[in-house]
A and B are shown apart, each in its own frame.
Chain A
Amino acid sequence: MTFKHFIKTITFIEILKGMALTLRRMFSKAVTIQYPDERRKIAPGFRGQHALSKRGGKAKCVGCGLCATICPSQCISITREKGQVTKYQIELLRCIYCGFCVEACPYGAISLTENYEYSSYNKQDLMMTKEKLLSNWDKYMPGTKGEEYYKKFWRPMSEDFGTPPGQAMYGGKR
Chain B
Amino acid sequence: MIKMQEPEKIFETRELNVNMGPQHPATHGVLRVVLDLDGETIVRLTPYVGYLHRGIEKLGESLSYFQALPLTDRMDYVSAMSNNIGYCVAVEKLYGIEPPPRAKFIRTIVGELSRISNHLLWLATHALDIGAMTVFLYCFREREWILELFEMICGARLTVTYPRVGGVRNDISKEFIDHLVKFLAEFPSRILEYETLIDQNRIWLQRTVGIGVISAEEAINWGMTGPTLRGSGIPYDIRKFMPYDAYDQVEFEIPIGTAGDTYDRYRCRMLEMRQSVKIIIQCLEKLPAGPVMADAPKFVLPPKDKMLIITHPVNEIAYFIDEKACKGCGMCLRACPAKAITGEKKKPHKIDQALCLQCATCFVTCKFKALKIVPGGKGQTEEKLVELAAQPVSDELKQAQEALVAHFDFIKKGPKVPEGEVYVATEVPKGELGFYFVSDGTHKPYRMRVRSPSFIHAGCLERLCKGHLVADVIANIGTIDIVLGECDR
Contact = CB atoms under 8 A, between A and B. Distances in A.
B306 A14 contact: no
A43 interface: yes
Contacts of A140: none
Interface stretch (B244-252, B264-272, B353-361): B353-361
Interface stretch (B3-11, B38-46, B407-415, B477-485): B407-415
Interface in A20-64: 21-22, 25, 31, 42-43, 45-47, 55, 60, 62-64
A31 B174 CA distance: 25
Given A69-B412, A80-B337, A85-B357, A163 B289 contact: yes
B197 A156 contact: no
B155 A99 contact: yes
A34 B156 CA distance: 21
Nearest to A160: B293
B151 interface: yes
A160 B303 contact: yes
B196 A156 contact: no
A158 B412 CA distance: 22
A108 interface: yes
A69 B411 CA distance: 7
B75 interface: no
Contacts of B356: 83
Contacts of A104: 411
Interface string A126-157: 00000000000000000000000000111111
B201 to A, nearest CB: 6
A65 B361 CA distance: 9
A70 B411 contact: yes
Contacts of B360: 64, 106
A97 B156 contact: yes
A171 B289 CA distance: 13
B197 A63 contact: no
Given A80-B337, A162-B291, A168-B172, A46 B151 contact: yes
Contacts of A18: 134, 196-198, 201
B63 interface: yes
Nearest to A173: B285
A115 B357 CA distance: 30
Contacts, number: 172
A100 B67 contact: yes
B78 interface: no
A82 interface: yes
B49 interface: no
A106 B295 contact: no
Contact of B305 (A17, A78, A112, A158): A158
Interface residues of B, number: 75
A43 B181 contact: no
A161 B293 contact: yes
B313 interface: yes
A72 B356 CA distance: 28
B201 A153 contact: no
Contacts of A42: 151
Contact of B193 (A14, A21, A43, A45): A21
Contact of A31 (B71, B141, B199): B141
B159 interface: yes
A170 interface: yes
A4 interface: no
B148 A43 contact: yes
B337 A97 contact: no
Q: Looking at A100, A156, A162, which has the most chain B CB atoms within 10 Å of its CB?
A: A156
B169 interface: yes
Contacts of B151: 42-43, 46
Nearest to A8: B200
B411 A14 contact: no
Contact of A160 (B63, B148, B170): B170
Nearest to B174: A168
Contact of B171 (A25, A96, A167): A167
Contacts of A63: 337-338, 357, 359
B284 A155 contact: no
Contact of A80 (B144, B199, B357): B357
Interface string A83-96: 10100000000001
Given A47-B156, A153-B155, A72 B68 contact: yes
Given A18-B197, A66-B412, A106-B311, A45 B154 contact: yes
A154 B301 CA distance: 12
B304 A156 contact: yes
A103 B412 contact: no
A100 B284 contact: no
Given A21-B193, A80-B338, A156-B301, A15 B201 contact: yes
Given A31-B144, A106-B307, A168-B174, A14 B293 contact: no
Given A163-B290, A167-B289, 18 more contacts: A18-B197, A21-B196, A43-B148, A70-B411, A80-B337, A83-B338, A100-B70, A100-B161, A106-B360, A107-B313, A108-B311, A153-B170, A154-B304, A156-B167, A160-B167, A160-B170, A162-B291, A170-B177
Interface of A: 9, 14-15, 17-18, 21-22, 25, 31, 42-43, 45-47, 55, 60, 62-66, 69-70, 72, 78, 80, 82-83, 85, 96-100, 103-104, 106-108, 112, 152-164, 167-172, 174
Interface of B: 63, 66-71, 73, 134, 138, 141, 144, 148, 151-152, 154-156, 159, 161, 167, 169-174, 176-177, 181, 193, 196-202, 284-285, 287, 289-293, 295, 300-307, 310-313, 337-338, 340, 354-361, 404, 407-408, 411-412
